[in-house]
Structure 1
Amino acid sequence: MKKRKLEVAVISDVHLGTYGCHADELIAYLNSIKPRKLILNGDFVDIWQFSKHYFPPAHLQVLKKIIGMASSGTEVFYITGNHDEMLRKFADMKVGNFNLVNKLVLELDGKKAWFFHGDVFDVSIRHAKWLAKLGSYGYGALILLNRFINWLLRLRGKERYSLAKRIKNGVKSAVKRVNNFEKAAADLAVENNYDYVICGHVHKPKKEHYENKHGKCLYLNSGDWVENLTALEYSFKRWKIYRYNEDKLSPFYVDEDLKSMDMNELIASIIDLRSQQKKKKEKDGESLDE
């Protein structure tokens, strides 16, 4: 089956290294698309909850898939988030088509798009990081329980159920927090004359036109690959929310060469990407000399 060609694909909050991550489903999605630009908008690897005892092959496969896409011509932007904030000190690093940044501005068909994770608007992270981390561990335990419940539901032929989503939607303070987040992001985008503002962080996929007395913008959130399994796609001058649970991607499930892989093979892939970039630079230099 042919892959869908996209101008931009955005995924966020994958949380590799945690029990809640849906790595196999993400690989299926990545195998189904061919984007010119792939944006990983924060919390791609969960360093907060990282454990050397849990990083299964499927999670390594996701990393290898991203590296493979970069080496095949897709421009990859890794935007740092709060769960992978340790990478922020390496911001503006570039290896071939792979870019590590803290935020990103792109021009898309004459309009300005502003990408950032969004944790800057989270009061609990800015003023009480220990509390945010504690909540993160509790959320992880809830997701683990939810996966067991969904396993039982599948055995009975029923649809999956999101405990975390149900709890968030039922708690007024959580709903208010997300609403405040969306308003803050959109207001700042309008103030800085951006047409699009694209975030992650709150695990709530959304596409909404926003307007205040100073102007208007389109607010977009890519959601996550823990609860919602969603992404944002841009093509033909339009944005849409992709929802894995509403698509049928079994033909793309896993590449044959990704079915088995260990850490050594992943490191070899990274070294190969660096080698390709070095050879390209040397070749370009020779062409200029001629």
Structure 2
Amino acid sequence: MPKHTREVDLIVLSDLHLGTYGCRAQELLQYMKSVKPKRVILNGDIIDIWQFKKSYFPKTHMKVVKQLMSWIADGVQVDYITGNHDEMLRKFNGFELGSFKICNKVMLNLPDGKAWIFHGDVFDVTMKYSKWLAKLGAVGYDTLIMINIFVNWCLKKLGKGRISLSKKIKNSVKGAIKFIDDFEQTAADIAIDNNYEYVICGHIHQPQKRVIENEKGAVNYLNSGDWIENLSALEYHENTWKLVNHEELFQKLPKIKPDPEEDLILETDHLFEKLVEEFNLMKVS
């Protein structure tokens, strides 16, 4: 185990969106290799199945999958909660193999109370009633990410720092702010009604850790964020929740050098072959 690896009781990762141009796989892999978790909860939108038709799955994304499989092979309990972008996996709800499980939600009995963990798209009215509109929005978001990549490339050439266009838009549009507030309040209200101490979501790409109250009580609301804009995760260790992000964890380390294999794209058929190959290796080990 590397000297800088931290032991953590539990980590929650969501919205990795592997298979999209915006996924920051190298930074994600650096974080994953910096921790030694006893349990991992993948809270939805891990592999972006909506985008598979683009046949885009760089080898750095495959390395993230291999790291997850390495944890499973080592006996780390990995719960894969399905999200809207990987909803195809919902038909396999309850599937278990060794320490790996596919599910729609996770309930934890922690020393200071119960925690309810789920992706959160169930609260998204657009997803529930107009899935085609949500997918159209995903295409627009993906296009914005592509523009953002070009903008950040230009900024890097000018010696300036990165910016997130989607994050700036999200934080400045009143409708987006209201949607986030409504999402968080709805999750909190249901959790309070069911006597949960914690409610933990993903989906909205908005990392958060705060107490939300209503007339019936209060609950700790947490959101693990994403690995496109915020590069954040939740960690639970020694009975304490902590929201971490890549920039704070690795600010004193040298910047990640581009992986020469990053642009090597796996075709969809080859991708599934590689996934099956890694899966079989995991079973053998």
The farther-off stretch of 79-88 and 50-59 is: 50-59
For residues 202 and 60 of structure 1, what CA distance do their matches in structure 2 show? 24
Shift of 1:51: 2.8
Aligned twin of 1:271 = 280
Q: Show the counterpart of 1:74.
A: 76
Amino acid in the other structure paired with 2:115? A
Structure 1 runs of 4+ off > 3 angstroms?
249-254, 258-266
Task: Give CA-to-partner distance per residue, 1:52-76, whole Å, 9 cap, x none.
Answer: 5311101111111100011112110
Q: Partners of 2:275 and 2:143 in 1: how far apart?
A: 29
Aligned residue runs from structure 1 range 96-107, under 5 A: 96-107=98-109
Residue 159 of structure 2 is matched in structure 1 by 157
Give the structure 2 partner of residue 281 of structure 1: none
In the superposition, the TM-score normalised over structure 2's length comes to: 0.90
TM-score (norm. length: structure 1) = 0.89
Q: Following TM superposition, by how much is the alpha carbon of 1:101 offset from its aligned partner in structure 2, in angstroms? A: 0.4
Residue 203 of structure 1 aligns with which residue?
Answer: 205
> Which residue pairs with 1:279 in the alignment?
none
**Cα-to-partner distance string for 1:141-185 (whole Å, 9 max, x where unaligned):** 001110111122222222110100111111111110010000000
1:214 paired residue among 213, 216, 219 = 216
What displacement does 1:273 show?
2.2
Amino acid at match of 1:128: S
Aligned partner of 1:108: which letter?
A: L
Q: Is the 8 A contact 1:196 1:220 kept in 2?
A: yes
Q: Residues 112 and 197 of structure 2 are in contact (CA less than 8 Å); yes or no, is this contact kept in structure 1? A: no
Greater CA drift, 30-39 or 102-111: 102-111
- Relative to structure 1, the CA distance from residue 41 to residue 70 in structure 2 (aligned partners, 3 Å threshold; closer, same or farther) is same
Alignment of 1:159-178 (within 5 A): 159-178=161-180
When the two chains are superposed, the root-mean-square deviation of aligned CA atoms in Å is 2.1
List alignment gaps of at least 5 residues for structure 1: 277-290
Aligned-partner SS, 2:228: coil
Q: What is the CA–CA distance in structure 1 between the aligned matches of 2:95 and 2:228, rounded to whole Å?
A: 28
- Alpha-carbon distance in 2 for matches of 1:53, 1:46: 11
Relative to structure 1, the CA distance from residue 169 to residue 110 in structure 2 (aligned partners, 3 Å threshold; closer, same or farther) is: closer
The answer to whether the 8 A contact 2:73-2:282 is kept is yes
Query: Which residues of 2 match residues 29-178 of structure 1 at below 5 A?
Result: 29-51=31-53, 53-178=55-180
Residues paired across the two proteins, number: 273
Q: What displacement does 1:110 show? A: 4.2
Residue 187 of structure 1: aligned partner: 189
Distance change >3 Å, CA 252–CA 192, structure 1 → 2? farther
Q: Which moved more, 1:76-85 or 1:143-152?
A: 143-152
